Structure 1
Amino acid sequence: MLDVCLLGCGGMMPLPYRYLTALMTRFNGSSMLIDCGEGTQIAIKEKGWSFKPIDVICFTHYHGDHISGLPGLLLTMGNADRTDPLTLIGPKGLERVVSCLRVIAPELPFPIVFKEIEGAEQTFEMNGYRLKAFRVNHNVLCYGYTLEIDRAGKFDAKRAKEQGIPLPYWSRLQNGETIETENQVYTPDLVLGPARKGIKLTYTTDTRPTDSIKKNAVDSDLFICEGMYGEKEKAAKAVEYKHMTFYEAASLAQEAKAKEMWLTHYSPSLTKPEYYMDEVRRIFPKAKAGKDGMSVELMFED
């Protein structure tokens, strides 16, 4: 199970009813943030979640509405006596940008591990999931992210018995462990069926529509995508500033065959995104207007 919460869905500036951009996921005891806009700490508290298990923070890019909440969050983590390492992932320049922000948080009781994304795509394996960064098209270097959790095949007790595999090894093989004894090597494929469908989440913001988004969002259980503008008369503005309209996001979701899409990163002038959703759903019926605190549990299929 993957818990997903859209902590903030605002772009450019925080509003009394809308925090800036941040997404939080929880899986297997660890938590991850994608972006950390102003208000992220309050949004986490309002949701009732904790910042303590956060061990990875990813950044799409370094505009203020995506990273301005980081120094305060680091200070809070430090004041809570955190000692475990914190991994930060982002485009080129990550360590330089964070070092500048840390002028107001210079001393922390935990190490920071920097992982700068190299090239158009890069995959990171951590905490039981696979995180892929892919380049999108904004007016600065910017990436989207896909999080995937694989699921092994079903354990076949009959096959295990037929091959004479000792009972104490069954659970270890089921968990993907290879077991070596003096006389034999037991591998998981001896007792597991074909891999089953896992969980896939794709998140992208501050970009024009790109083939990289469509490719990486294919068959996502949840596709969270920027919808800066709902007003059709702002289509030219979206092109000029390299953002996306609701309708472009819906078309991407349709082409990628996503199961569901949430819109996010609204312009401050967009006060009622729901007003435009009937037309958006004509393009992609499973579209929703994201809201601060909106969350879902993505489950493995039976």
Structure 2
Amino acid sequence: MIDVCLLGTGGMMPLPNRLLTALLVRYNGKCILIDCGEGTQIAMKKKGLSAKPIDVMCFTHYHADHISGLPGMLLTMGNAERTEPLLMVGPKGLEKVVNSLRTIAPELPFEIKFKEINGDEMSFDLEGMPEFTITAFKVNHNITCYGYTMNLRRQGKFNVEAAQEKGIPRDFWNNLQKGETVTTDDGITYTPDMVLGEERKGIKLTYSTDSRPTDSIVRNAAGSDLFICEGMYGEPDKLQKAKEYKHMTFYEAAKMARDAEVKEMWLTHYSPSLVNPMEFMSDTKKIFPNTIAAKDGRSCTLRFTE
């Protein structure tokens, strides 16, 4: 299962009841933070979450409302006596941007490792967790910007009958079930495909903000259990403004969710001028019924389905 918490839903500037965009994802003891806008630490405190165990930080792009909370976050992590390395992922220029922000947080008791995204799409696994893949994909904003898809794969069921028929010792069943190849002292090798069925449906989460509608979002979000997408404007008369500043409306996001055939969509990254997103949900749901106008702190647990 994957735990998801949308820490902030605001765009451009924080408001008293709407902090800037950030998403926290947890899987099997690993914590991934996507974007770190101003107020992210406050949002985490409200949810009873600690910054210390964050293993990976992914940035969509380097506009201030998506990264302005980073220096304070790093200081808090350092003051918590963290020593484990922190992996940062983002568009070209990542190390330069982060080191510039670290002028006010120069000394940290942990190493920062950088992974810059190259090209239109790049995938990588979490260390020690080959079943969990993060894919960054380029979107259409006024500077280089990426969305992120997380895939948790689920292997096939263990076939006890097959293991017995092949005479595989029970001591090796657990290793094979974990996808490991084992070899006996006699030199006999057993592989997972000998006892595992076809791979089952996993869990898919997609997150995209700051973009015009684009095929790359629809393609990468296809079949997602949860699609978190920017809805900068709910007012129909803001379409031209959305096009000018490379953002999107509720209705454009809903059309992408429909085309990608996702299970559920949460809207986020609202304009400060958008006081009550719920006012525009009726027309949005006509396009994609399972749309939610998310608020700060919205959480869920994505589970495997049989």
The TM-score, its normalising length taken from structure 1, stands at 0.99
Give the superposition deviation at 1:183.
2.2
2:179 equivalent to 1:176: yes
**Structure 2: which 5+ residue stretches go unaligned?**
none
Residue in 2 aligned with 1:70?
A: 70
Aligned residue for 1:288, secondary structure, equals strand
Question: TM-score, normalized by length of structure 2?
Answer: 0.98
Superposition deviation, residue 216 in structure 1: 0.2
> Matches of 2:45 and 2:171 in 1, distance apart?
43
Find the counterpart in structure 1 of residue 49 from structure 2: 49
Matched-pair identity in %: 65
Among 186, 198, 202, the residue aligned to 1:198: 202
Unmatched 5+ stretches in structure 1: none
Summarize the alignment of residues 30-41 of structure 1 with structure 2, pairs less than 5 Å apart: 30-41=30-41
Residues 99-148 of structure 1: CA deviation (Å, up to 9, x unaligned): 00000000000000000000000001114210000000000000000000
Find 1:251's aligned residue among 252, 255, 277.
Answer: 255
Cα deviations across residues 70-91 of structure 1 (Å, max 9, x unaligned)? 1001000000110000000000
| C-alpha separation in 2, matches of 1:135 and 1:191 | 39
1:184 Cα deviation (Å)? Answer: 1.1
The aligned amino acid for 2:179 is G
Deviations 1:210-258 (A, max 9, x none): 0000000000000000000000000000000000000000000000000
2:30 maps to amino acid? S
Give SS of 1:203's match.
strand
Q: Distance in 2 between matches of 1:175 and 1:66?
A: 37
2:140 equivalent among 134, 137, 141: 137
Root mean square deviation, CA, Å = 0.6
Q: Residue 186 of structure 1 aligns to which amino acid in structure 2?
A: Y
1:156 corresponds to:
159
Q: For 2:147 and 2:24, locate their aligned partners in 1 and report how far apart those are by CA, in whole Å.
A: 15
Find 2:231's aligned residue among 203, 227, 251: 227
Amino acid of the structure 1 residue aligned with 2:301: E
Q: Which moved more, 1:13-22 or 1:180-189?
A: 180-189
Spell out, residue by residue over 1:145-203, the C-alpha distance to the aligned partner (whole angstroms, 9 max, x if none).
Answer: 00000000001111101100000100111011111223211111111100000000000
CA distance in 2 between counterparts of 1:150 and 1:53 reads 23
CA distance in 1, matches of 2:53, 2:83: 12
